[in-house]
Structure 1
């Protein structure tokens, strides 16, 4: 049902009646156009909170840098750090059937929803998992720096004797987060978008990936600049053994946590469109 604001925006004023208002569509809108705009405005805060999520996923390059200073030998084989991204993909492949076959039937019993979780609930779970991803990476880095200190490698730009396989959990958590948030995001924008704008709104999910990458670059630049003041090595120097990459991961976890709180507020206030 259309609200009062929709009718006011579609009313022809006395001034419009005396002029050729049809030549200027910006002077008058149909009720449908107003309602579509209201839907987009309601969706915008939810869309904005997913940019931080995409920024977390853009940290894969930092994960690779972390893997470069870990022991890459597994038996007689040297594991390329970038190849651990495979575990992200494997995690997605595992979590999709688990979600469909296990989690949805369980959630359906509690929520009464055919899909088990609403799109907003699904996205929220993914945001929580993105925080867990950063915490996992920070804990691995803390352990790596501890090993570097124990072995006297702080001022040596070399890999520490700690297996690169310790990175697997953070990649797996990242894949699980993607299953929940990325897929839920597409379903949300497509399902809640005005009928005539569904394809456009579904594409908004891809825009967050681009904006998240830009945001990640800005954060990395600021961290590098601020932490190298006074001649310090900074958090992310060329020799990571002298740095504090763990603090960067904690920072990203903190930003993600604040973003989660904002998201919860937006999700609680969001009103689904009338089908």
Structure 2
């Protein structure tokens, strides 16, 4: 298999990464409370690093489990298409989980502005306000006594 055959896949992967990274940053910045925006961006960066380590672990495991047949040392000796089909399967599972989570997502600030009032929603809004008050207190004070009064 010539390396030029892999170029379109890597070009599409680079394009996808270039489009996804800024949008994830914008989403994690705008949908978090202002007091914890920095923390959410740090967790986003941490997840990127964890993804790199997980990718390296997947490659090592597939290399060991397939005996080097799926991901060979030299490209023309192995069945690299099995590896790419496995990655496509993982991406499909990732997309389905993302769709499921995004379907269940509830932006509390939008629901609150609509004025929808149900007991479960009111409880969630109360928890949301308590969390904001907790982070607000943490930002202004460094003593543990003020944290205990909030809790």
Q: Which residue of 1 aligns with 2:84?
A: 249
> How big is the alpha-carbon RMSD for the aligned residues of Structure 1 and Structure 2?
1.8
User: Would you say 1:185 and 2:24 are equivalent positions?
Assistant: yes
Displacement of 1:260 after TM fit? 0.4
What is the distance in 1 between the residues matched to 2:4 and 2:71?
A: 21
The structure, 1 or 2, with the larger RCO (C-alpha pairs under 8 Å, 6+ apart) is 1
Q: Which residue of 2 aligns with 1:100?
A: none
Taking structure 1 as the reference length, the TM-score comes to: 0.37
Alignment length (residue pairs)? 110
2:70 is paired with a residue of what secondary structure?
A: coil
Q: Which residue of 2 aligns with 1:33?
A: none
Structure 2: gaps (5+ residues): 111-151
In 2, are the aligned partners of 1:224 and 1:235 still within 8 Å (CA)? yes
Deviation string for 1:93-130 (max 9, x for gaps)? Answer: xxxxxxxxxxxxxxxxxxxxxxxxxxxxxxxxxxxxxx
Q: Which residue of 2 aligns with 1:200?
A: 39
Displacement of 1:266 after TM fit? 0.3
Give runs of ≥4 in structure 1 deviating > 3 Å.
Answer: 164-168
Mark the CA change 1:224 to 1:168 in structure 2 (over 3 Å): closer, same or farther. Answer: closer
**Higher helix share goes to which structure?**
2
Displacement of 1:271 after TM fit? 1.2
Q: Which residue of 1 aligns with 2:125?
A: none
Q: Which residue of 2 aligns with 1:221?
A: 60
Q: Which residue of 1 aligns with 2:105?
A: 270
Displacement of 1:227 after TM fit? 0.6
What is the distance in 2 between the residues matched to 1:242 and 1:252?
A: 19
Deviation string for 1:57-113 (max 9, x for gaps)? Answer: xxxxxxxxxxxxxxxxxxxxxxxxxxxxxxxxxxxxxxxxxxxxxxxxxxxxxxxxx
Equivalent residues in 2 for 1:24-35, closer than 5 Å? none
Q: Which residue of 2 aligns with 1:173?
A: 12
In 2, are the aligned partners of 1:192 and 1:273 still within 8 Å (CA)? no
Structure 1: gaps (5+ residues): 1-143, 145-161
What is the distance in 2 between the residues matched to 1:273 and 1:261?
A: 23
Deviation string for 1:28-85 (max 9, x for gaps)? Answer: xxxxxxxxxxxxxxxxxxxxxxxxxxxxxxxxxxxxxxxxxxxxxxxxxxxxxxxxxx
What is the distance in 1 between the residues matched to 2:100 and 2:19?
A: 19
Q: Which residue of 2 aligns with 1:62?
A: none
What is the distance in 1 between the residues matched to 2:75 and 2:7?
A: 20
- Select the structure of larger CA radius of gyration: 1
What is the distance in 1 between the residues matched to 2:13 and 2:73?
A: 25
